[in-house]
Chains A and B, each alone.
Chain A
Amino acid sequence: MTPDPASRLRRRLLGAAAALGLVALSQPLAAPGAAALELSGEPRIAFIYAATARDGGWNEALDNARLRVEAELGVTIPTVESVPEEATALKNAIDLLIRRGFNVIVGTTYGYSEGILEAAQENPGVAFVNASGATNSDNLEGFYVRSYEAWYLAGMAAASVSETGRVGILGGFPVGVVNWDVNAFALGAQAVNPEIDVIAVYTNSWWDPVREGAVTRAMLDQGADVIANNLSSSSPFVAAEEAGAKSIGFQLDMSQHAPNGHLTSVVFNWDQHLLPTLAALKDGTWEPNPWGAFPSMADGVVALSPVSDLVPAEVRALIEETADAIKAGTFSPFDGPIHAQDGRVVIPEGTRIDDAGLWGMDFLVRGVTGTLN
């Protein structure tokens, strides 16, 4: 008697479940070794993006790094674009790349954190790195950068040119990585003008140029004459230019969007992080940091684009000096005492914020007009 289709299906499902069970059982046997990752061959690198690579902001900064790595190493690095921030879709893309022989996978968004961790566990011979990723393992390292260091300098530039004594900054969502930029910007501005009024507005979106333009116009109506854009669309620059206001960009050099009022941009140079990582991978000495890589301005991964002549020469010199102090480690924007908006001390005098404090930053500093919502 031939089995009916239903029972055949059931048997197949049972087989699959058994296979999964075996995988689950074998998992703890693979001891988490502290040894450096041994790649199966020469590094073959591929990038995966959640949207188009040339997006004028976050992805484009990473893609510029990809091009520089290509030039530096003399290799071709293909990209996969518009892979949704969802584990199944991401793992499909990764599987395809691995089957085609790629053994270094570069993810580019926080949204890949979970999927890329699963892929890393399933492919122990492949190296994974993920920009702004929150997961790490034996062969996966998330990386971000101490962007607040450069935002502090940008705040100094902003305050030095403000005639109204009021500057604005637009952010996306009130999460640690945005809050530290906003706070550092405010602290830098206060270093130049202690009375400066910093308006911070979160748009609760990474992508809404219409709203970003409207928020910018609202800030200009309130008397702000410098607009710092912690997001990537160009509409805040357009609105600022129209009103004759100054502006500060992020991620890429945004001077093309604001030919008259652009002061400087906080720019990422991810190649400065990727090149050493790839060199270590090639030498077989790469050991992912269990807390993720967190390079700084001293590593060249974040920097200020050339500061405009609109900024007074003595302030430009001060920015230079402060940058050197930050790089040397003698100064950090979050050296105490730092007060929150309500006046309570969040970083006591004589202490410096630690990385946990940075990632969990859930306050705005004194002197900022705005709320975390």
Chain B
Amino acid sequence: MTLAFLTAWAGAVPGYMTPLLLASIGLILCERAGVLNLGIEGIMAGAAMAGAVAALAGLQPARALAAGTGAGLLVSVPFIIAVVVFRAPMIPAGLALVAIGLGASGALGRAAAHKNFAGLGNVGFPEALTGLPLVGRMLFAQDAVVYLALIVAGRASFVLFRTRAGLQLRAVGEDPATADASGVDVQLHQLAACIVGCALIGLAGAYLSVVGSRTWTEGMVAGRGWIALALVVFAQWSPLRAIAGAAVFASADALIPRLQTLGVDVPVYLLSMLPYVLTIGVLVLFAALGWHRQGEPGHLGRAYIRQDR
């Protein structure tokens, strides 16, 4: 492998990594508060569509991303109300959200399908930096959201593990009855976590259309939401480990087409399984080491109703 190949490969990784990272941080926030959000694929679909519609309407890329983020949040509203306010079962509510998001985006985005728009360009670092061998393109020839995602990961980790609000949030996900007894408002914390989390998932979806493809078609999220769900487990519910996990998944994703263009016989289907294989591997490894339930919130996926305490 030549240096040029490695430089180009490394340069392509952040583009693959950013939507996965944003989506998984969003999921981690929801799940740390005990809310299992299986609707991610639907949220991303709605956001990708809205981002494209906004960009086609002439909005600046940054505003189109914001519009997509807002749309992702809007799509999530029924889910958030159902599971946080009415404490509906999270798994069916999440799966319903997938159907709603995919269906609504397909129907509403019809007029926007297959139209090109400008999209978000790279941050203008000087040639001296972007031209560096190996790391130049990876570190400096990227769009602003790539850097934003890393900052978000750092912030999320700080809030979760270094602040009182984060402690309370994790307490709600771990043992809502105890948190409730000690005066923490369970629903309020879940609500806040879901709003921020779903907004981040929306940003991830909008990134796919506004930055990734600069065009929108139905079904373009193409399972990336499910990969983010696996990534959360792989990262053991830690935003910082999610950076590493997203980088690993994205490296494989970016490598496949590059090997294909060289004519290497890549086992595409095996590599596509990689996120899931690695996730199972991590689970098995931690189980074997005796580190059970490393970061998994104790009350994940179960509704908390005070009378049941």
Contact = CB atoms under 8 A, between A and B. Distances in A.
Interface of A: 51-52, 54-57, 82, 168, 199, 201-205, 207-215, 217-219, 221-222, 224, 232-235, 237-238, 257, 369-371, 373
Given A199-B261, A213-B213, A373-B266, A207 B220 contact: yes
Interface in B185-217: 208, 212-217
B258 A235 contact: no
Contacts of A56: 113-114, 217
Given A214-B15, A373-B265, A238 B258 contact: no
Interface of B: 4, 8, 12, 15-16, 106, 110, 113-116, 119, 208, 212-220, 222, 253-254, 257-258, 260-269, 272
Nearest to B118: A238
Contacts of B269: 204, 373
A217 B12 contact: yes
Nearest to B260: A201
A237 B116 contact: yes
Given A55-B114, A218-B12, A234 B215 contact: yes
A238 B116 CA distance: 7
B113 A208 contact: no
B246 to A, nearest CB: 15
B213 A207 contact: no
A222 B215 CA distance: 24
B83 to A, nearest CB: 29
A57 B114 contact: yes
Contact of A373 (B116, B213, B220, B268): B268
B177 to A, nearest CB: 43
A273 B43 CA distance: 42
A81 to B, nearest CB: 10
Contacts of B254: 214
Contact of B214 (A201, A218, A235): A235
Nearest to B8: A221
Contact of A222 (B212, B213, B262): B262
A93 B78 CA distance: 31
B166 to A, nearest CB: 33
A222 B12 contact: no
Nearest to A203: B257
14 contacts: A52-B110, A82-B106, A202-B260, A204-B269, A209-B217, A221-B258, A222-B258, A233-B215, A233-B217, A235-B213, A238-B213, A238-B214, A238-B215, A371-B260
